[in-house]
Structure 1
Amino acid sequence: MSQSVPLTKESYEFLQEELKRLIKEERPKVIQDIAEARSHGDLSENAEYDAAKHRQGFIEGRILELQDKLARAYVVDLSNLKPDKVVFGATVTVYDTATEEEVTYKIVGEDEADIKIGKMSCTSPVGKALIGHKLDDTVKVSVPSGMKEYEIIDIKYE
């Protein structure tokens, strides 16, 4: 049985747009590129043909991956929740007691996680530790660099 994939509304829409673009724009273009490269003659020494076939394989693989992910996706709707605890899709601001810094993260699925832009995976050690906790809770979590302690100072559902 395949596992469902939690996604934020934005991520679901982004993946749908990527799939649409790959099917309607990229796939026809690579087919055209292959046909053009074929017209140049000997395929055994045709770098353009090899590159186009490689690109076609990548596009087809990505289309299958996106179709599978979207078929298993469920969009997490936060609109009717009260922001009293950290859940998937919540934006949480924490105070790092060691560095005395405030950091804000949006708790997202693995595919949309990008810590550089403040999107933390719900399966990461910190993401898992924060889920379920409330405002003003102190959360201790083991990370590769040791033990971290965070105080939850704000939770928003956007």
Structure 2
Amino acid sequence: MVDFHVLPETLERYRRELFELKKRYPIIKAEMQRTAEEGDFSENAGYQAAKRELRRVNSRMTILEDRITQAIVIDGGPSDGSIGIGSTVVLHNGQEKLFRIVGPLDVNLLFGQISYRSPLGAALMGKRTGDEVQVNNVTWKIIRVGADR
């Protein structure tokens, strides 16, 4: 099952990409029709290329429309001080590290964005400042929990 928890900026990126693809679609379709007039489809490289591109764009638009309509926007975590999707968390295991709990589509380890389904993310769900979690024989102490970005 696909998880559509996304950050607001991810939803906006999907919308922009869909907008751009919808602008390109008629251009690609016109190119396909133009190259179709050049003769035999089986040996018409321009037609075949345009047809592949049209399929690719159509497929991507379908995926984006699905993600946009099913999106569950993460806008901060729980307000009760517990860790949830959207929370920012400062952890300590010898040094302090900042993480943000996100859905699988927004994982970016370079920016400390971890999925709530990852081993660490799953262990943190519902925990609070002062709690400890152990993942892969590493103990993490929760120093601070925030609902901000």
TM-score band (shorter)? 0.7 to 0.9
Q: Hey, what does 2:28 align to over in structure 1? A: 30
**Aligned length, in residue pairs:** 148
Q: TM-score, normalised by structure 1?
A: 0.77
- RMSD, aligned α-carbons: 2.5
> Structure 2 residue aligned with 1:111, among 105, 112, 120?
105
Counterpart AA for 1:55: E
- Gaps (5+ residues) in structure 1? none
Deviation of residue 140 (structure 1)?
A: 0.8
Check whether the contact 1:19–1:63 (CA below 8 A) recurs between aligned residues: yes
Distance 2:109 2:127 in 1: 20
Q: TM-score, normalised by structure 2?
A: 0.81
Identity across matched positions, percent: 28
Give the drift of 1:103.
2.4
Q: Which residue of 1 aligns with 2:125?
A: 131
In structure 2, the partner of 1:149 is 139
Q: CA deviation at 1:33?
A: 3.0
The residue type equivalent to 2:134 in the other structure is K
CA deviations over 1:25-67 (Å, ceiling 9, x no partner): 2312321332343344432223332222222112111211122
Checking the alignment, whether the CA contact within 8 Å between 1:85 and 1:133 is kept in structure 2 is yes
Distance 1:54 1:89, change over 3 A: same
Structure showing the higher strand proportion among its residues: 1
Equivalent residue number for residue 84 of structure 2: 87
Shift of 1:139: 0.9
Task: Provide structure 2 residue ranges, at least 5 long, that are not aligned to the other structure.
Answer: none
Deviates more, 1:121-130 or 1:41-50: 41-50
Q: Indicate conservation of the 8 Å contact 2:77/2:86, yes or no.
A: no
Moved over 6 A (4+): none
Counterpart secondary structure, 1:136:
coil
